Amino acid sequence: MSTGQYRPISAVVLAAGEGTRMRSETPKVLHPLCGRPMLLHVIDALVALPLERIVVVVGHGAERVTKTLQEQMASEMPIEFVEQRVQRGTGDAASVALTASSFDGDGEDDLLIVPADTPLLRPETLATLAREHRAADAAATLLTAISDPAGYGRVVRDDAGRVSHVVEQVDADDAELAINEWNTSIYCFRRGLLAPALRRLSPENAQGEYYLTDVVEVLRETGHLVIAAPVADPSEPVGVNDRAQLAAAEAVLRARINDRWMREGVTMTDPAHTYVDASVELEPDARLLPGTILEGRTVVGAGAVIGPDSHLVDTIVGERAAVRQTVARETEIGDDVTCGPFAHLRPGSHIGARAHIGNFVETKNAEIGEGAKVPHLSYVGDAEIGEGANIGAGTITANYDGKEKHRTKVGKGARIGSNTVLVAPVEVGDGAYTGAGSVVNRDVPPGALAKGVPAEIDDGWAARRDDEDE
Ligand code: UD1
Ligand code: CA
């Protein structure tokens, strides 16, 4: 008896299917949930286990799937890709997996097989499955769930309660359809017993496919032990096959992410309306107000307040900053900055500590110095604004001459009058001033004043016009 005895264990992920029900150009397993492709969530759960290796069966969109996984996998665990050229069903996919070059020897090891469309799966659940499989010394252990079985394969048991076989919904009769224990498509197999069982499958079923589920019956008929291990939380192994299931699964993941951050000391006024990608980092005492969407490599510092209604992508927010109604991408927002409402910070914006970006301000590729203010209605692009400078309402950097982009530099403590047009390339020196409405197309020395086009006064003009009209 090898009960309880250590056997090496590897994992196979079935990711070759097209995912027809998604009706998408994107392979199903690459659809993101909380910013991370579905398949990566499954891989993340696997790499948390002490596995020998992971074999991924790719097929539909193989190149994209392989590339995405290689780029985004955050683990050194050995991974091998095998291609299932024609998608003949899950049984065929498993057979293809066993051709992986990293599988050799007698097959005296265990194999977790998981589909790539179960993004809510937790490592603890897989570990429990493997433990029960070993404890029973089974040939195959099925992770099953007892809940609404609509759409899933039903687990049929004999009179003694032992697993008999799995029948797909489309192949089931009324009695089988009434069974509420369903197959999650997550299994643990003895590799050496799986291989011969797979060779005995036939595609005689409603879908004309080789069903991995059919190995249950084959193994049992050849005298091997097959057991079912019901999962504690039946919502965990749900499969995502269409957009409605995708949205439902994402909501569960989002709640998990939010719960984790709240436990770590982040305040969320309304977690149901707070959207934090799996890749985001938050520091304690950050506060996220409703309508906050944080994506990619966004980091929010301690004590910062984000929202309401702020959408930050790959943006780093300093401590105690306040970022309300702001859209930002690839931006750094310093400590104690106040930003918004209605600010748009585009890639390459660096907002220095204690600076203020006010309403209807757009920045791009711009360094805003410490304590500088851009309070209202401005465009600051390809620019460097010195410490403590003030940019008057309506000021814009005319950075584009129709052919090339040019830079604007505003010195420390400079005062740019309302509605100034800074025609780049141009430099305004430290402590210099520009008058309201000036068009500055030459450099302004430090401490100087650049005045622009004052309006001419034509006295009595309105009355004269009225006379002419008569
Ligand atoms: C499968 C199970 C069903 C179970 C359900 C749980 C079979 C026959 N049915 O059904 O009992 O209740 O999962 O979610 O196994 N794949 C390949 N190559 C193929 C076909 C599929 O790699 O040729 C992959 C898919 O990419 C997917 C996984 O296998 O990740 C499952 O395939 P899918 O078509 O979603 O199976 P279901 O019909 O959901
Ligand atoms: Ca499925």
Contact 153, 205 (CB under 8 A): no
pLDDT, tens digit (0-9, with 9 covering 90-100), for 195-219 = 999 999 999 999 999 999 999 999 9
- C-beta atoms surrounding 395 within 10 Å: 26
Residue 1 has a pLDDT of 43
| Nearest alpha carbon, ligand 1 atom 34 | 17
Residue 86 has a pLDDT of 96
pLDDT, tens digit (0-9, with 9 covering 90-100), for 104-121 = 877 789 999 999 999 999
Q: What pLDDT band is residue 455 in, cutting at 50, 70 and 90?
A: confident
Q: Calculate how far, in angstroms, residue 456's C-alpha sits from the geometric centre of ligand 2.
A: 74
From 166, 185, 238, mutation site for ligand 1 pocket: most ligand atoms within 8 A of C-beta: 185
Active site residue 273: no
C-alpha span between 256 and 83 (Å, rounded):
33
Residue 4 has a pLDDT of 56
1 against 165, higher pLDDT: 165
Residue 118: its H or E element: none
Residue from 60, 273, 376, 406 carrying the catalytic annotation:
376
The model's pTM is: 0.92
Buried b (16+ CB within 10 A) or exposed e, 257-296: bbeebeeeebebeebebbbbbbbbebbeebbbbebbbbbe
Three-state secondary structure call for residue 127: helix
Ligand nearest to the CA of 153: 1
Residue 2 has a pLDDT of 46
pLDDT, tens digit (0-9, with 9 covering 90-100), for 258-313 = 999 999 999 999 999 999 999 999 999 999 999 999 999 999 999 999 999 999 99
